[in-house]
Structure 1
């Protein structure tokens, strides 16, 4: 990007998936009634979906009440940043074949807890934006219109 270019770039779906594949920590947003929760989860990209592991508790309960979720991943350096949002439906994997495939993804809990339930987010949309980071524009003097 040139210095005069828009500091915000809309990512294509493929560019968004490329960025999702580079990270392993995201935020899961659930919505049940008037309650909106956000949970940090480590994850893996599985083909055209997102996998994470969990245990019985509020997160899994909320997903069974309302499977519609948002999943957000971002990353930044001193000069650039990006954010990708996945909208989709989350469901616990139940078949042996699905669980075996998920186990092959190598997804392991970050903390020593027993998380035996694999959940897959099937995306309905994926969108992302990249940002050029730079100092704030000068506020004094003539402004462009």
Structure 2
């Protein structure tokens, strides 16, 4: 088995095919935090629906974040892969693309009211996959 870098198109394909990722950010007390989130890839960036809390506070500060998705399949094909984005999180204003946001199907993990969208515009995108030898 060996790791192979993914090109941009492969990274985008995986981002388009999955809906669960991990958001890494620094909270208000400067602690590194990684949380699972449901997301939507809109072709240019990641949309996450959230409510009040540490994710929203981080985005309100326009903080640098990392976002990661992966698969660790361990079947006969042993196809594992990972995509990592780095960028800035930003709270989307109510008026910004409101009609588009209404059609985005992103739910919170625990079903609470999540009226706010956070957008991550990647400045860096990398990926890799584990291939059979």
Paired residue secondary structure (1:112): coil
Q: Which residue number corresponds to residue 63 of structure 1?
A: 59
- Provide the TM-score with structure 2 as the length reference: 0.87
Q: What is the rounded CA distance, in whole Å, between the counterparts of 1:61 and 1:81 in structure 2? A: 33
**3-state DSSP class of the match of 1:19?**
helix
CA, structure 1 residues 34+133, in 2 after alignment: closer, same or farther (shift >3 Å)? farther
3-state secondary structure, aligned to 2:39: strand
Structure 1 unpaired stretches of 5+: 1-5, 135-145
Q: CA deviation at 1:76?
A: 2.3
- Counterpart of 2:58 in 1: which secondary structure? helix
Q: Contact 2:15–2:41 at 8 Å: present in 1 too?
A: yes
Distance 1:115 1:133, change over 3 A: farther
Question: Which deviates further from its counterpart, 24-33 or 114-123?
Answer: 24-33
Residue 26 of structure 1 aligns with which residue? 21
| Number of aligned positions between the proteins | 129
Question: Which protein is bigger by CA-based radius of gyration?
Answer: 1
1:56-109 per-residue CA deviation (whole Å, 9 max, x = no partner) reads 112211222352100000012221100000001111110424232122222223
TM-score (normalizing by structure 1): 0.80
When structure 1 is superposed on structure 2, of 97-106 and 116-125 the one drifting more is 97-106
Given that residues 99 and 118 in structure 1 are in contact (C-alpha distance below 8 angstroms), is that contact kept between their aligned partners in structure 2?
A: no
- Indicate yes or no: 2:108 matched with 1:109: yes
Task: Give yes or no for contact 1:88–1:125 (8 Å, CA) kept in 2.
Answer: yes
Residue 41 of structure 2 aligns with which residue? 45
From 3, 9, 25, the counterpart of 2:4: 9
- The CA distance in 2 between the partners of 1:40 and 1:14, in whole Å, is 24
Cα RMSD (Å): 1.8
Tell me, yes or no, if the aligned pair for 2:62 and 2:90 is still in contact at 8 Å. no
Call closer, same or farther: CA 1:67–1:82 in 2, change over 3 Å. Answer: same
